[in-house]
Structure 1
Amino acid sequence: MPTQDTSVADRLIELRRRRGLTQEGLADQAGISVGVIRKIEQGGTARIENYHRIGRVLGVRTVWFQTAESPAPRLDDQRDAVLADIRSAINPPAGLRGRILPDDDVPPNLGLLERAVGAVAAHYQADRYDDVARMSPALVRSAHVHVNALEGLDREKAVRLRADALQLTGRYCIQIREHDLGIIALRDSLSDALSVGDQALAAAAIGQQGWALLRQARFDEVEALCVATADELEPSKLTKADKTTVAAWGYILMRAAAAAARNNRPHEAREYQSFARSAAEVIGTEIDSAGHMRFGPATVGMNGMQNELIGDRPDVALQLAEDIRTRTTQATPNTQQRYALDRASAHLKLREVDKATEIMMGLKQQAPSWLRNQATARYLAEDLLDQAKRMPSSEHREIAAFLGLTA
């Protein structure tokens, strides 16, 4: 058996041989290029979706391919300078008496703070990320000041608003792929939500933490976290429970399903997805829940479609997409955009290049800031260039240039 410090390359070679497969045979069964197998076995890396396909053929979880190794040095530190203000607000220095938080002589104003939280949420949902980056550090600092200055019920409201502000800032950090910074904000948001007994807001923070961990391919951890949380949140009777509670429970199970699907655990993914669908059916329509989230049949349907796509069933994914087509506008803009990107992926897997191109061009026009921050979009653009007949079209070159690729 391979030892713990054996490289992914060595482990893949040994497991492939134990299964009686050549590089070509493994590539054929996984539906990928033999060059991908060779690259991994020579010490290179591949997309997470390719690890998923290889793992399905070999009968192992996707996380089997994760190994601890020193990351390559990052030569461009420009992002650090840009994010300095957000880092300072989310993760201030700590001394012997705890974190050193800001102080302000301006009297607290809960109404003003609440409106500011709403404004940042609106900017986030509209993909105005520059505005979120500009406003969120001051918002978090103001929330700290309010919590420190107030007492009683006013302080409790300030804590809720701080949890909300931290959660929005954490979501922005995840969106721009600053996952660890986002997790710090979400942990503090969770702590605030729990301190005032707001389970729905706490569940939203946990779900967003799960999103960050999914992006880091920490699938086992996400599934365990979400299942444990769902067990705590599960209503005794769905039909009689408060809708906010039902939405929180369903949302967490939806995240568990996403983790299991990505980790080659389709049976568990369908089970969690079934519970999430039951919660959505009880609610009946999309509802706004804590943390500026939305949950209901459309959101759950889109998650199920994505899980089928991850399981390499693009035809099933597109059928599910058609089934929920009339409800998609009820979901948040971010969810709708992710759904569109998933449809483009499904069409491309079925070699329907024109349809995938049309969707990508639409996203470029409608949600440019969001699209630029999606790794999936870059992978799709690369595949569009590969699948384009003869010379890439002007649209393919336009998409590639927009996403920083060389056509």
Structure 2
Amino acid sequence: MSNWADLTNGKRIKHLRGSDLTQQGLADAAGVSLALVQKAEQDRGELSVGSLLRLANALKTDVAVILGQQAPRRGASRDTRAALRRLSDAVHDSALGDWNGIERPSSFVELSSAHDRVCAAYWRGDYGVFSELIAKVLLEGGSRYGQATGYEREQLGSLLANTYQFASSAAILLGQRDLAFSAITSARRLAKDSGDDVLAALLESTLSWIHLRSAKVPRAVAVAERAALHIEPSFSRASRPQLLAFGRLMTSAAVASSRRGDAASADDYLAQAHAAAARLGHDEALYGTHFGPTAAKTEAVGIAVALGNYGRALQLAAHTELPCSMPKLARNRYKLDVALAQCEAKLYDRAADTLTEVALDAPEWVKHQALPGVIGKRLAKVSTARVRNISELIGVPLIA
């Protein structure tokens, strides 16, 4: 596709509409005439502000995208764009205290159940369900939080903070950096008010990851290291939640260090993560964050890949078993690291098979990852036909 800003408004509307929505369908969804949609796509005449707003809402996007001021997420389906819109509205409306239409918010038990489903939807990459549940928890939970006191308020604060954390993680995965920072800011404020030190530490792990995805690598390391020092446990007396949070922060620092080529620091942080994992003894999850021996081993593979130690990465992968309990997205992120290592070792058929596994297992999630494109370019040197077949599975061209 040409540069988004270079397209006309009509071509942008047509692209956003896609093949799954007819012109009549867009007209019906926007509450405008078919003639208006046809004229808009043919760039005949100027669209009024009202028409632009109606079309943007029907296309589940923003007016700025139609006008070319912002580009849509590459490869995002209409469903994903709609999910992003719901996610953005939920984060911002709840932070602003917009409780319009919420007369009787759900009980804490009901909100807890919805939160558990938020966690499950996130880890399987179901952004449609995820965004709907996020909106329920943040808006209804925020309304109830404003009226609660005592222990109930503390419980709701932790619940909302963790929900904002998931919103932040999803936003950065989908390329929405500003939304991710907005959500994590709300999460940190609520966690501080609730007095939950472990949750606060886990939020810093997410913040470190946001900085890493934003190419702010030194800041990513500093955030994780600072939070780890704050919660660093005495291993003989540490609670399991403390060990989990400390281990996750150490892996965050190790990953960020590997991205700037600091092998010594990465190895040091990773050793501490392995120590925490060994102390835990088995994989655990807390506030939707997973850590244990499996996480320490799979992160070690990714770190070796980032440092260019592809042989070492494949050796580690050969001795790493993935339990059935491992979240789908974590499993597939690990497999992308393995596929890249296989490419660099000239194991092209195996790399293509691994990438295909990921594409079939998480087709929507993989569109928003950078590694498939990197792997695709390497595979194309051997077989462009194979890469094009994988591209069709993913729905995003891996090579030009």
- TM-score, normalized by length of structure 2? 0.76
- Which range moves more in the overlay, 200-209 or 343-352? 200-209
- Which range moves more in the overlay, 132-141 or 294-303? 132-141
- Which range moves more in the overlay, 262-271 or 80-89? 80-89
Q: Secondary structure at the match of 1:301?
A: helix
Corresponding residue number in structure 2 for 1:352? 347
Q: Secondary structure at the match of 1:177?
A: coil
Equivalent AA in structure 1 for residue 88 of structure 2: R
1:330-345 equivalent positions in 2, closer than 5 A: 330-345=325-340
- Give the counterpart of 1:365 among 353, 357, 360: 360
Corresponding residue number in structure 2 for 1:400? 391
- TM-score, normalized by length of structure 1? 0.75
1:397 Cα offset (Å)? 1.2
Equivalent AA in structure 1 for residue 304 of structure 2: E
Equivalent AA in structure 2 for residue 116 of structure 1: A
1:250-261 equivalent positions in 2, closer than 5 A: 250-261=247-258
Corresponding residue number in structure 2 for 1:232? 230
Indicate yes or no: 2:110 matched with 1:115: no
1:400 Cα offset (Å)? 2.1
Shift of the 224–243 alpha-carbon distance from structure 1 to 2, 3 Å rule, reads same
Q: Measure, in 2, the Cα distance between the counterparts of 1:138 and 1:340.
A: 33
1:175 Cα offset (Å)? 1.7
Q: 2:94, 2:138 within 8 Å by CA — same for their partners in 1?
A: no
Equivalent AA in structure 1 for residue 396 of structure 2: G
Corresponding residue number in structure 1 for 2:304? 308
Q: 2:83, 2:131 within 8 Å by CA — same for their partners in 1?
A: no
1:1-400 equivalent positions in 2, closer than 5 A: 74-76=70-72, 83-92=84-93, 99-103=96-100, 104-235=102-233, 237-289=234-286, 291-325=287-321, 327-388=322-383, 392-393=384-385, 395-400=386-391
Q: 2:105, 2:140 within 8 Å by CA — same for their partners in 1?
A: no
Give deviations 1:207-239, integer Å, cap 9, x for gaps.
11111111111110011111111110011x213
Q: Measure, in 2, the Cα distance between the counterparts of 1:242 and 1:164.
A: 20
Q: 2:137, 2:163 within 8 Å by CA — same for their partners in 1?
A: yes
- Which range moves more in the overlay, 170-179 or 343-352? 170-179
Unaligned runs of at least 5 residues, structure 2: 1-67
Q: Secondary structure at the match of 2:175?
A: coil
Unaligned runs of at least 5 residues, structure 1: 1-71
Give deviations 1:167-200, integer Å, cap 9, x for gaps.
1211211221212211211121122112111122
Shift of the 113–335 alpha-carbon distance from structure 1 to 2, 3 Å rule, reads same
Give deviations 1:118-161, integer Å, cap 9, x for gaps.
11111111221221123322321111111012211111111111
- Which range moves more in the overlay, 378-387 or 292-301? 378-387
Equivalent AA in structure 2 for residue 396 of structure 1: V
Equivalent AA in structure 1 for residue 288 of structure 2: H
Q: 2:201, 2:227 within 8 Å by CA — same for their partners in 1?
A: yes
Give deviations 1:13-50, integer Å, cap 9, x for gaps.
xxxxxxxxxxxxxxxxxxxxxxxxxxxxxxxxxxxxxx
Q: 2:254, 2:267 within 8 Å by CA — same for their partners in 1?
A: yes
1:93 Cα offset (Å)? 9.2
Give deviations 1:243-279, integer Å, cap 9, x for gaps.
1101101110110011111012111111111111110
